[in-house]
Amino acid sequence: MNNFSYIQADKAKEATTAKRDDKSAAFIAGGTTLLDLMKLNVENHDQLIDVNMLPFRGIEMTKNGLRIGALERMSDVGEHPLVVQNFPAVSQSLLLAASAQLRNMASIGGNVLQRTRCGYFRDTAFPCNKREPGTGCPAIEGDNRNLAILGTSDACIATSYPGDLSVALVALDAVLTLENAKGKQREVPITKFYLLPGSTPQKETVLEDDELIVAVTIPQTAAAQKSMYLKVRERTSYAYALASAAVGLEVQGGVIRAAKVALGGVGAQPWRSPEAEKMLVGKAPSEAVFRAAAEAALRGAKPREHNAFKVEMAQNTLVRALSEVAA
């Protein structure tokens, strides 16, 4: 880890201005990803701007839905009654993630910006287009068991966001509130927040250099109320998803009125599947309908040597999750 300077920002503007003026600076909240990557020399920042004192807190129901301050901790949000009752998929995605110690530290804003666990990205001895653009991607011919099968490119096959929360947020149409150094806020649907790798895998989100995530808002819907997050992995805790599904269904009169489907662990980004949703809406819930939706969701999959299993696993995960919320 390189030497760095540290400042604690009391006001948002102080933080965003400092970030704007120093391209090598980084915000630090929980630090669970940042410090890890700095210790590995994957990220090298000469300045850390501590944003923990900023007032981006609170978990409250607003007219637009549940607003969660970006600095709330994963464990607090996951266990909050408003989240548990109205957004089960969000609560489950948080509580199935990481370990208790990490959940107590990690912030919601930081979680959304969590970086890939691809072993090649995390080890500077390897080439990596995400870490060092243009050096190549050894994962394509190497250890790709944990990597993506949807939305990948010849430059990068990482599950760029490896976590759980954003899968639920993407399914439930959450909106991120961002604030820049001018003090201007903008709202970005999380479905538009992440970028596919294409030829620029180093550019992972639409966040500008001087922008800070200040809040996440999740619309309150019937489908969100009836949602769940299912995570598959060989170790029951403290392991990333091999495949996961965040689903929500609104069923009225025996017919699916609204469907929310997203997959984790398989996409280059948290993978919303309008294809699957299209197969569900207007149909009576049944195993066959769920199966057809799952097949639609994985239709464009491009598996590699060690991750071909993810096609079937993701489909089955999705079918299982849909069956459970419909039950």
Partner 1 sequence: METNQTKNAPTNVVGKPMDRVDGPAKVTGAARYSAEISVPGTVYGVLKTSTIAKGRITSIDTTRAAKEPGILNIFTHQNLPKPAKTPKQVEKWRAAQSYLPMQDDQVQYAGQPVALVVAATLEAATQAAALIQVTYQAEAPIDSFHDPKAELFDPQKIQQGKKDSHVVRGNPQQAYDGAAIKHEATYVHAINHHSPMEPAATLAVWEGADKLTVYESSQNVTMHQGALADLLGMPREQIRVVTKYIGGGFGCKGSFWPHTILTVLAAKAVNRPVKLVLTRQQMFTGVGHREDQEQTLKMGATADGKLVSLVHTKRATTSPWDNYTESNGKILDMLYACPNYSTTYELARANVMTSVWMRAPGEAPGSFALESSLDDVANQLGIDPLEIRLRNYADHDYSNNKPWSSKSLKQCYTRGAELFGWDKRNAKPGQNRKGRVLVGHGMATASYPVHSSQGTARVRLFADGHAVVEAGATDLGTGTYTVMTQVSADALGLPPEKIRFELGDTRLPTAPGSGGSVAAGTVASSIMAAAEDVWDKVVKMAVADKKSPLYKAKPADVKVELGRMFLIKDPKKGETLLATLGRSGQPDIEGSGTGKYGAGYEEKNFGQNGADENNDKKEKVSGGHSMHSFGAHFCEVEVDPDLGTVRITRWVGVHGVGTVLNLKTATSQMTGGAIYGIGAALMEDTFRDPNYARYTNADLAGYHVPVNADIPDIKVEFVPETDPYINYLGVKGIGELGMVGVAAAVGNAIFNATGRRMRSLPITPDKVLEALRQPA
Contact positions with partner 1 (CB under 8 A) in 233-252: 233-240, 242
Partner residues linked to 252 by β-bridges: 255
Which x/- pattern, by CB under 8 A, does the window 93-132 give for partner 1?
------------------------x-xx--xxxx------
What are the backbone dihedrals phi and psi of residue 324, each rounded to the nearest 5 degrees, phi first? -75, -40
Sole residue written with tokens 């990557």:
37
In the bound state with partner 1, the residue whose beta carbon lies nearer, of 3 and 252, is 3
Q: Are 212 and 71 in contact (CB under 8 A)?
A: no
Determine the angle formed by the axes of helices 309-326 and 287-297, rounding to 10 degrees: 140
Size of the site for partner 1 (CB under 8 A): 34
Contact residue for partner 1 among 319, 322, 325, 326 (CB under 8 A): 319
Question: Minimum distance from CB of 236 to partner 1 (Å)?
Answer: 4
Contact positions with partner 1 (CB under 8 A) in 203-232: 232
Dihedral sign, CA of 274, 314, 201, 94? Answer: positive
In the bound state with partner 1, the residue whose beta carbon lies nearer, of 127 and 198, is 127
Longest dimension (CA), the chain: 62
Contact residue for partner 1 among 145, 257, 283, 302 (CB under 8 A): 145
In the bound state with partner 1, the residue whose beta carbon lies nearer, of 233 and 257, is 233
Q: What is the DSSP string of 150-206?
A: BS--SS----SS-SSHHHHHHHTT-EEEEE-TTS-EEEEEGGGTB---TT-TT--BS
In the bound state with partner 1, the residue whose beta carbon lies nearer, of 80 and 310, is 310
Q: Applying CB under 8 A, which residues contact partner 1?
A: 1-3, 41, 117, 119-120, 123-126, 138, 141-143, 145, 232-240, 242, 309-310, 312-313, 316-317, 319-320
